[in-house]
Every structure is written in structure tokens, then in C-alpha cells.
């Protein structure tokens, strides 16, 4: 990597390289050498910007978690348009076809990383927590518009949708589920909560 590259650019280059390794080879292959080799830079570049490899991994997870905020705003903006089932199907597919499933696998597989992340996320699993909040926020917006029943248990429904989405997409090496499969699962879960008069 050329000298004088901005820290943000170096960090992002390393994050993108880590994602490629993670998606291609899985969490066990994610080492500092694998990341810097993938990024095409010297190993010292990573250690110049991060205290150690676990600090790098924690920042990678938190950076990718922050991206869910944009997805959440987009999903909430769809409230009242299309159908609830279609909107949820699209959101779960967008979320889990990304690097999210691999990030969850990374967090689960590394005790030191999980311990470090507990400082900012004391319970649950990063990515899945934020995704659950995203779904709950959307369902709340739909409830305010009358497309989800007033008595719908959103606090239970949102994690159910995220858990099911994660299970459908969890096989990193397999073929992702078809849209119809995801839609069928979503429709089955919201059948008791969804109001029938949707446009």
C-alpha cells in the first residue's frame, strides 16, 4: 500500500479484504496475514491502524452493523407501500445475502471477539440485534398505518423473522433460498398480525 494513504481508506480496504476472505473461506481462515495478503498490503498496515487483530475484527463488525441503519431507514420508508410480506421478504433477503451471515458466524466462532463486543453489545449477537430492531421499527410503522394489527406482538414477531431469515440463509456454501421460499416463511409468520386490506 502506498505511504500517505488516508487512515479511513486503509481501514476500508482492510475491511473489504476481510469480507472477501470471510465469504470465500469462512471464519477460521480469517487471519491478519490472510487479510493483508488479500488487501495487497504489508502486514504492518493492519497493526498501524488497530491495536491487535481482535480490535480489527471488532471494528469490522461494528462498521458493518452501522450499515444496517441505512437499510432500516429504507425499509421503514417502504411502510404503506407494496405488501408487508413483500417488504419483509426483500429486507431479509437484502440483509442475509450480504456479508451479515458470515459476520454472525465470525462473532459466534471467536470467544475473544465476542468478549470485546460485549463492551458495546452486552446481550445478543451484533448484526442480529440491529436487524431485529430494523424489523421491529418497520412493523411498528406498518401498525401505525393500520396494516399490522394493533395487538400484534412485534417484540416477538421481529426476532422470529430474523431467526428464520438467518436459518434460511445460513448455509454459506449452499445455494441461497429462492424468493418464494423466503416469502412463504414470512407470510406464515405474519398471518395473524397482518391486516388483510393492503394495496
Q: Which residues contact 142 (CB under 8 A, 6 or more apart)?
A: 79, 80, 84, 148
Q: Residue ranges per domain, the chain? A: 1-49, 71-190
Name the band, by pLDDT with cuts 50, 70 and 90, for residue 85.
very high
pLDDT in tens, 92-137: 999 988 788 888 888 888 888 888 888 877 777 888 999 999 999 9
Residue 1 confidence (pLDDT) above 70: no
Dihedral sign, CA of 149, 155, 156, 157? positive
CATH code of the domain made up of 71-190: 1.10.357
Give the burial class of 155: count Cβ atoms within 10 A of its Cβ; 0-12 exposed, 13-18 middle, 19 or more buried.
Answer: exposed
What CATH class is the domain 1-49? mainly alpha
pLDDT in tens, 125-148: 888 999 999 999 999 999 999 999
CA atoms of 86 and 160, how far apart (whole Å): 17
Whole-Å CA distances, 14 to 124, 160, 192: 26, 33, 45
Percent of the chain, pLDDT > 70? 92
Find the helix packing angle between 32-39 and 53-77, rounded to 10°: 60
Closest CA to 84 of 138, 151, 160: 138
For residues 189 and 157, is the Cβ–Cβ distance under 8 A? Answer: yes
Amino acid at each position: 500500500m502506498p505511504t500517505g494513504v488516508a487512515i479511513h481508506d486503509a481501514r476500508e480496504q482492510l475491511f473489504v479484504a476481510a469480507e472477501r476472505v470471510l465469504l470465500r473461506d469462512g471464519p477460521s481462515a480469517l487471519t491478519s496475514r490472510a487479510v493483508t495478503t488479500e488487501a495487497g498490503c504489508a502486514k504492518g498496515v493492519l497493526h498501524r491502524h488497530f491495536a491487535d487483530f481482535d480490535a480489527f475484527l471488532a471494528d469490522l463488525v461494528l462498521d458493518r452493523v452501522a450499515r444496517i441503519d441505512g437499510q432500516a431507514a429504507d425499509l421503514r420508508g417502504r411502510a404503506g407501500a407494496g405488501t408487508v410480506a413483500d417488504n419483509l421478504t426483500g429486507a431479509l433477503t437484502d440483509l442475509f445475502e450480504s456479508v451479515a451471515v458470515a459476520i454472525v458466524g465470525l462473532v459466534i466462532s471467536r470467544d475473544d471477539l465476542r468478549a470485546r463486543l460485549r463492551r458495546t453489545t452486552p446481550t445478543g449477537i451484533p448484526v442480529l440485534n440491529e436487524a431485529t430492531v430494523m424489523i421491529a421499527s418497520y412493523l411498528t410503522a406498518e401498525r401505525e398505518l393500520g396494516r399490522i394489527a394493533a395487538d400484534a406482538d412485534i417484540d416477538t414477531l421481529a426476532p422470529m423473522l430474523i431467526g428464520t431469515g438467518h436459518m434460511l440463509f445460513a448455509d454459506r456454501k449452499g445455494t441461497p433460498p429462492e424468493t418464494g421460499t423466503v416469502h412463504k416463511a414470512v407470510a406464515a409468520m405474519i398471518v395473524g398480525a397482518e391486516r388483510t386490506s393492503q394495496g
